[in-house]
Amino acid sequence: MPAESTAVRRAVTGASIGNAVEWFDFAIYGFLATIIATNFFPRGEETAALLSVFAIFAAAFFVRPLGGLVFGPLGDRIGRQKVLAVVILLMSGATLVIGLLPTYESIGIAAPILLLVCRCLQGFSAGGEYGGGAVYLAEFAPDRRRGVIVTFMVWSGLLGFLLGSVTVTLLQALLPADAMESYGWRIPFLLAAPLGLIGLYIRLRLDDTPEFTELRREDNVARRPLRDAITTSWPSILQVFGLFLIFNVGYYVVFTFVPNYLIKPLGFGRTESFTSITLASLTALILTLPFAALSDRVGRRPMLIAGTALFVVFAYPLFLMITSGSLPAVLTAHCLLAAIEAVYISAAVTAGVELFATRVRYSGFSIGYNIAVAGFGGTTPYVLTWLTARTGNVMVPAFYLMAAAAVSLAAVLVMKETAGRSLSAVTADVPR
């Protein structure tokens, strides 16, 4: 971004690197779900063990609203930068501990319980990460470039997923299967320590945003931001919830569910599965920022309408390709699903942040976003795995995607266009 100021570049770097670390930590759990199932649950029923792993994956998302309720108001009271430093420390610490946990064979039922505790700590910290990073970037960005700058949060999350995929793929290729299941799966989790320290160092050196600094200078910081956000901005919170329904369903279908779906029930090997998710992640990584730049030109609503409509129309035929048994068809369909998701996510985060006044922006966006994630993000792999096993219908994920897209499309159609509008023009009747 050569035309942007040094302050904006530093903000993008700090928020993006920290967020990439956060989502690397989250991603490797999803990519290693089948191996984790064999290490933390009794051997025997593979589907039951995998469902248990996804249930723990979902549990982390259920505590995310709690993290949002804690870190969102804290960010509106003491500043965005301080909170972002805390959340990356919590996330990386919890991920490191997962890499050190003893297995079910060693300590029995205590193993999955400890895994659950660590995942909940990850979810709690993530509840403050995404909203905080998006708000931080929005408040540094010039109006005409806000879409592409805020979407670095999305892009860096995709980068974290891609790095997690590449790491797991390399380990899978280099280590024998027995070694991968006994100790190799721990290596990505142990990488959380140095990556987290790098992210923490960068975030501690950041300044707070100009908009929050101005609020503090005017002594206009909200004293009860959570209450104020709920009482004055509840329509925007509901809009964010609807906006992020397909955002999360699509994200976790494409980047978490499909890699394991290829292994069971479709019968592909882990190498094919990891190759597919790597290509899909790379596709979304390449497309998201150009689409975000387009949203600065044509508006947020056209991109959001296009993304939801594409899911409604193409989810079924693309899953027909995935279930065809042909690896080239699988790779093509997976990448096309990632491309459709890129269309939608390129505008969604910016559109959500632009709905709130500065005094309650962190709180309001975090509430709507994290409730949507809790209900339709982490639960998606579990629900789809259970439904597919229960019904025997491998097309269930396509129907789920189509339904979520239809609901989000309805939410988008009632939203006003927010592109190009000054954030300072967004006001709320918030008591001082």
Q: What is the pTM of this model?
A: 0.84
Of the segments 131-145, 216-230, 315-329, which one has the largest average pLDDT value?
315-329
3-class SS of residue 170: helix
What pLDDT does residue 149 have? 94
Of the segments 42-51, 85-94, 123-132, 244-253, which one has the largest average pLDDT value?
244-253
∠ CA 139-367-374 to the nearest 5 degrees? 125
What pLDDT does residue 45 have? 66
Confidence category of residue 4, pLDDT binned at 50, 70, 90: low
**What distance in Å separates the CA atoms of residue 227 and residue 363, rounded to the nearest whole number?**
9
Q: Integer distance in angstroms from the first to the last C-alpha of the chain?
A: 37
What pLDDT does residue 295 have? 95
Lookup: tokens for 157: 């999350």
**What distance in Å separates the CA atoms of residue 414 and residue 304, rounded to the nearest whole number?**
12
Stretch 231-235: mean pLDDT: 86
Say if CB 185 and CB 35 are below 8 A apart: yes
Of the segments 51-55, 61-65, 322-326, 386-390, which one has the largest average pLDDT value?
322-326
What pLDDT does residue 101 have? 92
What pLDDT does residue 1 have? 42
pLDDT of 290 over the 90 cut: yes
What are 168-203's pLDDT values in tens digits? Answer: 888 888 888 888 888 899 999 998 788 888 888 888
Torsion from C-alpha of 376, 419, 412, 139, nearest 10 degrees: 30
Lookup: tokens for 240: 């964010």
What are 17-67's pLDDT values in tens digits? Answer: 778 887 787 778 877 877 888 888 877 666 777 778 878 877 887 888 888
| Sequence-distant (≥ 6) Cβ neighbours of residue 9 within 8 angstroms | 1
Query: Which residue, 15, 104, 36, 19, is CA-closest to 256?
Result: 36
**What distance in Å separates the CA atoms of residue 398 and residue 396, rounded to the nearest whole number?**
5
